[in-house]
Each structure stands twice: as C-alpha cells, then as structure tokens.
Amino acid sequence: MIVLSGTIGAGKTSLATFLAEHLGSEAYYESVDDNPILPLFYENPQKYGFLLQNYFLNKRLENIKDAQGSHLNVIDRSIFEDQLLFQLNADLDRATQTEAAIYSDLLHNMMEQVNYSANATIKTPDLLIYVNVSFDTMLKRIKKRGRSYEQVDQDPSLYDYYQELTRRYVAWFDQYDASPKLKIDGDQLDFVENEEDLAVVFNLIDQKIKELRIEG
C-alpha cells in the first residue's frame, strides 16, 4: 500500500490516478466534491470540525481496508495527516482541545484494530510519498481549482490557516516514521501539467519501490 500526502492542492489526487495506472494497480480516493460536510465546515469550523473529522476517519479506514489487497495500491491521502489538520483547528480555536483529544484516542484505537485484524495482510503503508509545495504554490493551486469554500478572497482568515498548515506539514513529514518515505518537490516538478516532470516523478518512485522491494 502506497499512501500519498501533502497539503491542499499539492496534486495528490492526480498523482494517485497517474501512479496507479503506471504501476498497474488500483487508486483509492477521498472524494472531495461530493463531501457534504466540507462546505459546512468552511462556513462554520467550530460547529462542523469534529463531524468532518469523523467523516474523514470513516472514509480513510474504508480506503485502507479496500487498498489492503496489494502492496502497490495507492491511497490519495494518508490517515496520519488528519490529526495534523484537526490539531491545527483546535490550536486556532476552530475546535476544542477536548474534541482533538477524543479524536486522537479514537484514531489510535482504530489503527490498532487495523493492525491486529486477521484480515489485514498489509498493515502499515509500504511507502509514504509526500508532495511538498510552498505556500505560494498552494495558494495558486487553490485559486486555479476554484472550489468556492476554499478561496481566501471569500474568507481572508483562511490565509493564516493555510500558512500555518504549510508550516506544520514540513515538521510533520520530518517526524513521520510509520513507514519508509519519499519527498517529491511539487514546486519544481509540475507532474499534472508537464509530462517530462511526470516521468521524473515516476522514475523517483520506481527507484524507491525497487530499493524497498515492494511487489504487488
């Protein structure tokens, strides 16, 4: 199981599709556009933050269970990042610390269950790929993609939220040790718009897969 990670607009969903096709495996997605809670959360994070986390937790567990069939299956976002996002929300008073603590306990409890389940042939990810983009790139992508509820023009407080999120991602990736990991420079390598860049990214990932002897 290969899991992608990275901030909003890093290109995880596109990379999941390209990579699964390249590897001849399956991609598993978090569906953003039909998420009924996301627009409500952006409108009122205090009210909907905890519900949103539970929604994502459920979806990510579903993805993990589905993707466990092959070491080369790709999930478009790791479950580990949700805690980073929710803790940030709690630290910015967009959720309470109690909610963050309950969520964290639930996540760990569920992950233990995933690890100990007799059906789980693949327990932890074989590889985490982190697409690192700068704050500037993130803002440009959010604007270009145009999901209304994510726009800083409509809610200027999102600027600080996004900036702090970018900062925390860097620290999060540095301390991540649940599996082998690979960092892709998403500022330099625009694998969505440029085929040569995509080839470079495939090459980096292929080398890592070979080095780790990951097989389907």
| Residue 27 host element (H or E) | strand 27-28
Is 42 marked within a binding site? yes
- Confirm if 53 and 86 have CB atoms less than 8 A apart: yes
**Is residue 76 among the annotated active site residues?**
yes
**Is 33 known as a binding-site position?**
no
Closest approach of ligand ATP to the CB of residue 194, in Å:
16
The one segment of 11-19, 20-28, 95-103, 175-183 that binds ligand ATP by CB under 6 A:
11-19
Per CB under 6 A, does 86 bind ligand ATP? Answer: yes
Burial of 204 (0-12, 13-18, 19+ CB in 10 A): middle
Give the integer Cα–Cα distance in Å for 104 and 19. Answer: 30
Q: How near is the Cβ of 64 to ligand ATP at its closest, in Å? A: 15
Half-sphere exposure of 68 (CA within 13 A, CB side): 16
Running DSSP on this structure, what letter comes out for residue 30?
A: -
- Residues between 93 and 132 that touch ligand ATP (CB under 6 A): none
Q: Name the catalytic one among 33, 76, 93, 105.
A: 76
Contact (CB, 8 A) for 204 and 182: yes
Q: How far is the CB of 95 from ligand ATP (least distance, A)?
A: 9
Q: Contact region for ligand ATP (CB under 6 A) — 3-11, 18-26, 61-69, 107-115?
A: 3-11
DSSP helix/strand/coil, 74 = strand
Q: Is 184 in the site for ligand ATP (CB under 6 A)?
A: no
Which residues belong to the active site?
A: 76
List residues binding ligand ATP (CB under 6 A). Answer: 6, 8-13, 30, 32, 38, 52-53, 56, 77, 82, 85-86, 150
